[in-house]
Amino acid sequence: MTTNTEVKTYLNYINGEWVAADTGKTSESFNPSNKDEVLGSFQLSSANDLDKAVSAAKAGQKVWRKLAGSDRGNYLFKVANVLEEKVEYVAEAMTKEMGKTFAEAKGETLRGVAILRYYAGEGMRAVGDVIPSSDSEALMFTTRVPLGVVGVITPWNFPVAIPIWKMAPALIYGNSVVLKPASDTAVTAARVVECFHEAGLPEGVINMVTGSGSVIGQGLAEHPSVDAITFTGSNAVGKQIGRAAFDRGIKYQLEMGGKNPVIVANDADLDLAVSATISGGLKSTGQKCTATSRVIVQSGIYDEFREKLLEKVSEITVGNGMESDSWMGPVASENQLNTVLSYIEKGKQEGAKLVHGGNRLTGDETANGYFVEPTVFDEVTADMAIAREEIFGPVLALLKVDTIEEGLAMANDSEYGLSASIFTTNIGNMLEFINDMEAGLVRINAESAGVELQAPFGGMKQSSSHSREQGRAAIEFFTSIKTVFVKK
Ligand code: NAP
Ligand code: MG
């Protein structure tokens, strides 16, 4: 049953045209706030559809790379303007497709606009260095060339920002793109691609093919005409993609999971630490790769911090993200719901003390969606699954330490290393944290989930393949350096 009278069918975007998959098959995208609401249907494409997109991208790139960087930039400025006009149209799809609140969805979409403008400007910035040659009559310099066709594989949790922060740099440096968005947010992705279409990008420069990860995602990584793959998602899938790319000898970039800690020192501003832990851990229903998950608290203020935290968590309103009084929406899908509930069960079985939440919501307004209470576990120890594995949901684990050294060792006792925060007023603690914390993003007196588009983003250890996205750092992945030697 659907509550929509008319369900729109979204198409693939290949060579500047909207086309149906040649399988004739589609799949529906549901609203996690109300699973009877279908937002739209999208194409379940085949390897053959992917082939067409890659061929279009290959031809499109030959033309695109010849444009001046400033001309490519002008296209991105146009896309930014269209997206800005359509902010509500795109954000509404996001909220209705994966659940985050409309305010967060608008914020993310506007971030997409800013990312496009940032990279539009990149089209006019320097790409190389002049290096003194040992031959006094020669000129030696570096320039950068595009990689070719870039395969972009993205997750559902930032369905606008992540595709854009991969596609915008890929495009500005002269690559073409084939996007395979997450199936859970295929409609949102289509609305983003509509903005590129409206901005009039030349045909073949950007293409989108929807369908299953194993067919279209894996197919992209294995395709002989794809020159690079940029992926954000889970570790299991990332590793597979990395292996396929490695076997083909192409460049790949993987941004994956996290188990991000926050350390709260005895000398911290507790109100600040509490509000940043809640915002970092529970905004977007805990489904950010940079979400705070492990809350490591020094014993001197442990009880006080926990009481303040629980008081604030109890004020959180959970509900449909389209309603302005909802602070936290549902988790994104039934899969997510089952994973989160199974970790909550595991936490209880392992002996952690559930001190807030822990249940699916089943009231009149919520029973038809995938709503989980914000959940806090106390008395968590470092060996428990809820302290080690990525849950990707609204679950905070409180761990107690006596010293900052102990806290730092615990924070580093993880296979992941994406982001980490410390709350302290002591400069020594800050410096120790900056030096010794094994994470790509370290934040002092600020939540673990903050990211700025003009700064490098990426993780250490199992969180990434060790390249960085965003800011100027993106040039390293999306281009290849050519060293040029000229002699008269
Ligand atoms: P996922 O299951 O790995 O999916 C990511 C993308 O890969 C989707 O487009 C998916 O398509 C596709 N895919 C699935 N199986 C594939 C296969 N065998 N071969 C190729 N592609 C395949 O991840 P997710 O559940 O969407 O996202 C959650 C994860 O992303 C979390 O682990 C989170 O930490 C991580 N994440 C990391 C960052 C970061 O920057 N470090 C940012 C955000 C999220 P389908 O949707 O069709 O399955
Ligand atoms: Mg959905």
Q: Read out DSSP for 272-327?
A: HHHHHHHHHHHGGGG-STT-EEEEEEEGGGHHHHHHHHHHHHTT--B--TTSTT-S
Burial 319-355 (b: 16+ CB within 10 A, else e): bbbbeeebbbbbbbbeebbebbbebbeebeeeebebb
Please tell me the distance between residue 341's alpha carbon and the centre of ligand 1 in angstroms: 20
Quote the percentage of the chain above a pLDDT of 90.
98
* pTM summary value: 0.98
In a domain, 2, yes or no: no
pLDDT digits (tens, 9 = 90+) for 239-281: 999 999 999 999 999 999 999 999 999 999 999 999 999 999 9
Which residues lie across from 317 on neighbouring strands? none
Is there a single domain that holds both residue 397 and residue 450? yes
- Find the CATH number of the domain harbouring 226: 3.40.605.10
487 pLDDT more than 70: yes
Given ligand 1 and candidates 98, 183, 232, which is best to mutate, with the most ligand atoms within 8 Å of its CB? 232
Choosing from 195, 289, 373, 390, the catalytic residue is: 289
Q: Tens of pLDDT along 317-375? A: 999 999 999 999 999 999 999 999 999 999 999 999 999 999 999 999 999 999 999 99
Q: Give the number of other Cβ atoms within 10 Å of residue 358's Cβ.
A: 18
Residue 3 lies in a domain: no
Query: Does 195 qualify as catalytic in the annotation?
Result: no
What pLDDT score was predicted for residue 6? 76
Residues lining ligand 1, judged by CB closer than 6 Å? 153-158, 180-184, 212-214, 217-218, 232-234, 237, 240-241, 255-258, 289, 390, 392, 418, 459, 463
pLDDT at 1: 43
Of 285, 290, 303, whose CA–CA distance to 371 is shortest?
Answer: 285
CB 21 within 8 Å of CB 9: no
Q: Is 323 a catalytic residue?
A: no
- Side by side, the strands of the sheet bearing 12-14 are 17-19, 12-14, 206-208, 176-180, 149-153, 228-232, 251-255
- Give the distance (Å) from ligand 1 centre to CA of residue 358: 25
Residue 3 confidence (pLDDT) above 80: no
Verify that 199 and 87 share a domain, yes or no. Answer: yes
Q: Looking at the structure, do residues 85 and 142 belong to the same domain, yes or no?
A: yes
In tens, the pLDDT along 147-162 reads: 999 999 999 999 999 9
Q: At what angle do helices 161-172 and 186-198 cross, to 10 degrees?
A: 40
Residues 244 and 266 in one domain: no
Is there a single domain that holds both residue 410 and residue 357?
A: yes
475 is written with which tokens? 């040039």
Token output for 102: 């409309």
365 and 442 in a common domain: yes
Q: Are residues 94 and 22 in the same domain?
A: yes
Residue 176 lies in a domain: yes
What is the extent of the structural domain holding 58? Answer: 12-256+464-487
Q: Does a structural domain hold residue 426?
A: yes
Alpha helices by DSSP H, 322-479: 334-349, 385-388, 404-412, 427-436, 474-478
> Please, which residues have CB within 8 angstroms of residue 149's CB and are 6 or more apart in sequence?
54, 57, 58, 61, 175, 176, 177, 178, 225, 226, 227, 228
Report the mean per-residue pLDDT for the chain. Answer: 97
Tens digit of each residue's pLDDT (9 = 90 or more) over 74-128 = 999 999 999 999 999 999 999 999 999 999 999 999 999 999 999 999 999 999 9
* 44 neighbors 27 (Cβ within 8 angstroms): yes
**Which token pair is 120?**
């539009």
CATH of the domain at 331: 3.40.309.10
Distance 350 CA to ligand 1 centre (A): 28
Contact 386, 380 (CB under 8 A): yes
Residue 316, in any domain of the structure:
yes
Alpha helices (H) in 36-101, listed in sequence order: 47-64, 69-85, 87-98
Residue 5's pLDDT is what?
Answer: 55
| Cα–Cα distance, 277 to 476 (Å, whole number) | 33
Cα 284 to chain centroid distance, Å, stands at 12
For residue 220, the surrounding DSSP H or E stretch is helix 218-222
Position 105: which residue type?
Answer: A
Q: Cα separation of 38 and 4, whole Å?
A: 7
| Over residues 178-198, mean pLDDT | 98
Instruction: Tell me whether residue 1 is in a domain.
Output: no
Q: Is residue 300 part of a domain?
A: yes
pLDDT in tens, 280-313: 999 999 999 999 999 999 999 999 999 999 999 9
- 193 and 63 belong to one structural domain: yes
Q: Which residue's alpha carbon is at the smallest distance from atom 15 of ligand 1?
A: 213
Does some domain include residue 4?
no
In this structure, the answer to whether residues 290 and 381 fall within a common structural domain is yes
Spatial CA neighbour of 115 closest among 479, 480, 418, 451: 451
Residue whose token pair is 């936490």: 347
> Is the same domain home to 246 and 267?
no
- Co-location of 86 and 234 in the same domain: yes
The alpha carbon of 243 and the centre of ligand 1 are apart by a number of angstroms equal to: 15
pLDDT at 4 over 60: no
Q: Which of 335, 117, 175, 158 is nearest to 255 (CA)?
A: 158
Indicate the number of domains in the chain: 2
Same domain, 365 and 437: yes
Cα–Cα dist 329/34, whole Å:
11
pLDDT, mean of residues 393-418 = 98
- Answer yes or no: is pLDDT of 400 > 70: yes
Angle formed by the axes of helices 102-122 and 69-85, nearest 10°: 160
Question: Which one-letter DSSP state was computed for residue 10?
Answer: P
Decide if pLDDT at 2 tops 60. Answer: no
